Chains A and B, each alone.
Chain A
Amino acid sequence: MNMRRLPSVILLAVIMAVVAAPTVAADAAMDPKAAEVMKQIDAAEAARKKAASVESEWTTTGKLIKKARAAESKGDYDKALGLAKEARLQGEIAYQQGASQSELRIPAYLKY
């Protein structure tokens, strides 16, 4: 190897290492399960908001999402995933509950 080129080769190596380092670190932190958890938490949050948009949110849903986030931050991904999925299902049912009642219907036990 031409010794005159050595400094630039070293420089290039350093640059590459610096650029690559965070990516490598992020890869280590973002194991696929963690990514899946975040996806589910986002989906749960969206479902909760959709239910709220028809004034039908349950008090339980936000709590589940909070718990899911806490479990996620502790690295307990399985637990977080379960909680997020439950929250998402709640949001979806709550939305349907609200949307299915977009028309006023007076129950028949109240006789006019």
Chain B
Amino acid sequence: MSGHCDGGLRSNIEPNCLEKREIMKKTLNKMAILLLLGGVVFTAQATTPEEDRAAFVKHYKFRFPDVPMEEYPNGAYAIDKIGRENWEAIEEFPPYEPFIDEGQEMWDTSFANGKTYKDCFSDGPGVASQYPRWDKKQGMVITMALAINQCREANGEKALKYKKGPIVPLLAYMAFESRGQVTNVVIPEDDPRAMEAYEKGKKFYFTRRGQLNFSCATCHVQNTGLKVRTEVLSPSLGHTTHWPVYRSKWGTAGTLHRRFTGCNRNIRAKPMKAQGEQYRNLEYFLTYLSNGLELNGPGARK
């Protein structure tokens, strides 16, 4: 009597049909997921960080044979000629300059206890290439932003917010002082948790999220060079070299984790906490990909 089970009034009373409708519903959900995952073939394999990095390099070299590696720190402007002209004009009077000055003032100002940032960062402000790094004692990835707040708290100062506000100028100054250094993320072999953190970051990068069911890779690997509204999608090589960024759309400068938040929101995925474990691991993976690329922060973007 399956003919009665197609949504007519009677089907509501027949228990058999109710069951069928349940199955239908489940199938529909399964189909939704299949649709969500649609079209992309996967490979499950264990790869080393160096193999990962090599795969990204190979991918972008194939897609953009004319773009030399040292251009990747410039993001979308490495591959988008028109955007690049505007950007070069902007870089003549860099909108992030006031942030560098303000950050230097912060760096030079002592805490209430008389100590300064220099007491935490003994190598001085130009230490961006030392981050993110695995901290064996704390058992976690330490980013430069987190190190700043750990320094503040150790000296009785309040932690700063992680997406915008006063942490940005300080990061800008430190980034500026680090210009010319080379990205060099290390995954120490004497602590398996470091590789775990890298793997978690990699997993986050390749996981499809949000109502749009996109992963970072969907936009920044598969569709790099294509346009989303008015923006050209940048390659992930170079994604981490130039933070913080003055973004015209923001009308101010913001941090890398603010950008992660925005990219998650764009696909209607609930963002993670800035400087929470997920985003720090993501930064660890993402920065590793840029190993060998020069640091050129702070940056300016549309």
User: Which residues from chain A sit less than 8 Å from chain B, CB to CB?
Assistant: 52, 55-60, 62, 90, 92-93, 96-98, 100-101, 103-112
Given A52-B270, A55-B272, A58-B270: A93 in contact with B29 (beta carbons within 8 A): yes
A66-B43 Cα distance, complex, nearest whole Å: 40
Number of residue pairs A-B, CB distance < 8 angstroms? 91
Chain A proximity mask over B17-47: 1 for CB below 8 Å, otherwise 0: 0000000000001001100110011111101
A97-B269 Cα distance, complex, nearest whole Å: 12
Asked whether B161 is an interface residue with its Cβ less than 8 Å from the other chain, the reply is no
User: Which residues from chain B sit less than 8 Å from chain A, CB to CB?
Assistant: 29, 32-33, 36-37, 40-45, 47, 51, 54-56, 58-59, 199, 202-204, 206-211, 213, 215, 217, 221-222, 265, 268-270, 272, 278
20 A-B pairs with C-beta separation under 8 A = A55-B278, A57-B269, A59-B269, A60-B268, A93-B29, A93-B32, A100-B33, A104-B199, A104-B203, A105-B42, A106-B42, A106-B43, A106-B44, A106-B47, A107-B43, A107-B215, A107-B221, A108-B41, A110-B59, A112-B45
Contact present for A108 and B32 (CB under 8 Å): no
Contact present for B44 and A103 (CB under 8 Å): yes
Contacting residue for B44 out of A92, A98, A105, CB 8 A: A105
A49-B4 Cα distance, complex, nearest whole Å: 37
Contact present for A109 and B47 (CB under 8 Å): no
Closest 5 CB pairs of A and B: A105-B42, A57-B270, A108-B41, A104-B203, A112-B55
A58-B36 Cα distance, complex, nearest whole Å: 14
Given A97-B33, A107-B41, A110-B56: A58 in contact with B272 (beta carbons within 8 A): no
- B200 to A: closest C-beta gap in Å: 9
A108-B59 Cα distance, complex, nearest whole Å: 11
Contacting residue for B221 out of A101, A103, A104, A110, CB 8 A: A110
A50-B33 Cα distance, complex, nearest whole Å: 16
Contact present for A109 and B40 (CB under 8 Å): yes
Contact present for B37 and A58 (CB under 8 Å): no
